[in-house]
């Protein structure tokens, strides 16, 4: 080992390893009290720098045979993968620089196309002389095309002369698409000449046999192979073939179920139309039994709780009687609505003896049938409420007034003042309904005319005869004067003051057009 003079870095001769120092790195600083114990760790050389530790020794070069395989399996970055079988092929060097085709030089580059050089005066005059032959470069008066008589025969008027043969119009497109013929006539005309299309276009119908023009006497066109097989068009035999014999027999056979399994299913699984009772075997009660304890009604009702009444305002006495009677009335209303078509049928059902009167015994039997309370005090209060003439019986009028489903409708709605003319400009504080305002349906479902600023009053306001004719002519409805006068007179006769609006004239026009279509249908 030798030391350099500059950095005093140790250098080693080739093929030699550095010697290992026998002294520790802490020699001379501390005193070793246990020299017989070796220190922990690995003994490494000292004096090397971090640069030498990070440098890896250079590996020897691989032979050419190994390089050939490595370039195929794992080529270096940026190198082309070459198969080892043709690694030293001399044609690869030629193929790397080989190009197919002929090398051409572009006549015009992109710079000249984007920014061409301006033509000189000589080149521009030469170009104009070449393009003067075209009609697009020949000058013509303003608004008139160039003279086209140069390319036409002599004596031909280019303005009035037309080429071709004039065709006579014998029908419209509607008659061709939907002719005025029956279905049988159209099919009959379609069959005419179809024999020619079989030869030229091979036009055969579904299932039609192709005619091959066999002239052999032993050949019969209608002959078929095999025996006729009976079949049904509804596919019943196909259904039988798609089912296995075992499945078909199992469906027709009576299912055998164990009694224990059947009882277990009834006890554990819900049955259709029955309430599931898992403790049916252990508790024997009637089917209409209700569990629980009958509670005594409180001094307050649901209405008292909803309205938040204090104890001194609870419904007692006459007020409570009114509430109970109202509940009975509502229950009887529902029962009559679901069981009888009208009140007369319900009254006849309650009147069992046909006397035309209902006493308290008949009322009690009706309440028992409809599952209503039948206390004597309650029934007496109900009879007292219904009996208007105080005879102790309920007749049909009293019965109808008590159980009528349709009560009197409220009559305090704002009425429309049709006797007052609506002002042209309505004040904000004016709350009078003049009959020209839209209802709730018109506000929630506006018409397509409201988008154009046209509302109901524009359709319903009276207009003159000339104005009506001008409006319907502008929208494309043209009628002769006699028909228009007839429709206008009919629309005016339907109004007490002979006023005609757009809406009334439109209704008459729809009726007139429907009548014409009906006549045309009868003639057809």
What is the tens place of the pLDDT at every residue in 422-451?
Answer: 777 778 778 777 766 667 777 787 777 877
pLDDT band at 28 (very low <50, low <70, confident <90, very high): low
For tokens 């209409």, what's the residue? 288
In a domain, 53, yes or no: no
Cβ pair 502, 468 in contact under 8 A: yes
- Do 398 and 478 have their domain in common? no
Q: Is the pLDDT of residue 35 over 90?
A: no
In a domain, 346, yes or no: yes
Pairing of strands 2-3, 10-11: antiparallel
In a domain, 513, yes or no: yes
What is the tens place of the pLDDT at every residue in 309-339?
Answer: 777 665 555 566 667 777 777 777 777 777 7
Write down which residue in 403, 423, 441 finishes a domain: 403
Round to whole Å and give the CA distance between 435 and 519.
39
What is the tens place of the pLDDT at every residue in 228-286?
Answer: 877 787 888 888 888 888 888 888 888 788 888 888 888 788 878 777 777 777 777 77
What is the tens place of the pLDDT at every residue in 385-405?
Answer: 777 777 778 777 777 777 665
Q: Is the pLDDT of residue 204 over 70?
A: yes
What is the tens place of the pLDDT at every residue in 207-220?
Answer: 788 877 788 888 88
pLDDT band at 29 (very low <50, low <70, confident <90, very high): low
Summarize the confidence of residues 25-52 as an average pLDDT: 69
In a domain, 365, yes or no: yes
Q: Is 336 helix (H, G, I), strand (E, B) or coil?
A: helix
Write down which residue in 374, 403, 432 finishes a domain: 403
Q: Which of 213, 216, 183 is nearest to 198 (CA)?
A: 213
pLDDT above 90 covers a percentage of the chain that reads 4
The CATH number of residue 317's host domain is 1.10.238.10
Q: pTM of the prediction? A: 0.24
- Do 394 and 483 have their domain in common? no
In a domain, 348, yes or no: yes
Summarize the confidence of residues 165-186 as an average pLDDT: 84
Quote the mean pLDDT of the chain: 77
Structural domain harbouring 505: 456-523
Q: What is the pLDDT of residue 120?
A: 93
Summarize the confidence of residues 373-395 as an average pLDDT: 76
Q: How many domains does the chain have?
A: 2
In a domain, 98, yes or no: no
Q: What is the pLDDT of residue 12?
A: 46
275 — alpha (psi -120 to 50), left (phi > 0) or beta?
beta
- Do 468 and 397 have their domain in common? no
Characterize 46-65 residue by residue with b for buried, 16 or more Cβ atoms within 10 angstroms of its Cβ, and e for exposed. Answer: eeeeeeeeeeeeeeeeeeee
Write down which residue in 403, 420, 448 finishes a domain: 403
């Amino acid at each position: 080992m030798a030391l350099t003079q500059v950095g005093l870095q140790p250098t080693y001769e080739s093929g030699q390893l550095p010697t290992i120092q026998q002294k520790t790195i802490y020699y001379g600083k501390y005193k070793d009290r246990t020299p017989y114990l070796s220190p922990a760790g690995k003994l490494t050389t000292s004096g090397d720098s971090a640069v030498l530790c990070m440098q890896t020794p250079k590996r020897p070069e691989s032979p050419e045979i190994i390089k050939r395989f490595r370039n195929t399996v794992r080529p270096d970055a940026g190198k082309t993968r070459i198969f080892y079988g043709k690694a030293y092929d001399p044609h690869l060097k030629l193929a790397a620089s080989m190009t197919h085709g002929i090398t051409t030089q572009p006549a015009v580059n992109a710079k000249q196309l984007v920014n061409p050089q301006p033509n000189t005066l000589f080149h521009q005059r030469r170009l104009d002389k070449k393009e003067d032959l075209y009609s697009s470069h020949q000058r013509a008066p303003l608004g008139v095309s160039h003279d086209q008589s140069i390319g036409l025969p002599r004596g031909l008027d280019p303005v009035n002369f037309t080429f071709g043969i004039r065709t006579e119009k014998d029908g419209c497109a509607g008659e061709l698409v939907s002719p005025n013929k029956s279905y049988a006539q159209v099919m009959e005309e379609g069959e005419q000449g179809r024999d020619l299309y079989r030869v030229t276009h091979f036009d055969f119908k579904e299932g039609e046999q192709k005619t091959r023009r066999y002239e052999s006497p032993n050949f019969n066109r209608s002959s078929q192979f095999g025996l006729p097989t009976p079949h049904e068009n509804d596919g019943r035999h196909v259904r039988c073939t798609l089912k296995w014999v075992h499945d078909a027999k199992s469906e027709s056979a009576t299912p055998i179920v164990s009694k224990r399994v059947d009882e277990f299913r009834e006890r554990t699984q819900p049955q259709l139309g029955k309430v599931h009772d898992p403790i049916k075997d252990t508790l024997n009660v009637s089917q209409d039994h209700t569990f629980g304890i009958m509670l005594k009604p409180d001094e307050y009702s649901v209405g008292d709780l909803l309205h938040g009444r204090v104890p001194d305002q609870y419904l007692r006495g006459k007020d409570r009687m009114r509430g109970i009677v109202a509940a009975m009335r509502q229950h009887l209303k529902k029962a009559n609505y679901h069981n009888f078509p009208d009140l007369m049928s319900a009254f006849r059902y309650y009147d069992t003896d046909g006397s035309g009167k209902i006493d308290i015994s008949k009322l009690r039997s009706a309440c028992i049938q409809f599952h209503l309370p039948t206390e004597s005090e309650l029934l007496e209060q109900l009879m007292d409420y219904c009996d208007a003439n105080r005879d102790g019986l309920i007749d049909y009028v009293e019965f109808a007034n008590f159980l009528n489903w349709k009560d009197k409708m409220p009559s305090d709605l704002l009425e429309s003042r049709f006797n007052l003319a609506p002002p042209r400009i309505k004040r904000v504080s004016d709350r009078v309904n003049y009959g020209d305002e839209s209802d709730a349906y018109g506000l929630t479902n506006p018409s397509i005319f409201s988008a154009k600023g046209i509302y109901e009053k524009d359709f319903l306001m009276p207009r003159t005869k000339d104005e009506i004719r001008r409006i319907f002519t502008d929208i494309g409805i043209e009628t002769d004067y006699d028909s228009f006068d007839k429709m206008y007179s009919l629309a005016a006769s339907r109004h007490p003051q002979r006023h005609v609006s757009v809406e009334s004239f439109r209704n008459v026009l729809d009726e007139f057009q429907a009548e014409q279509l009906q006549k045309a249908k009868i003639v057809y």
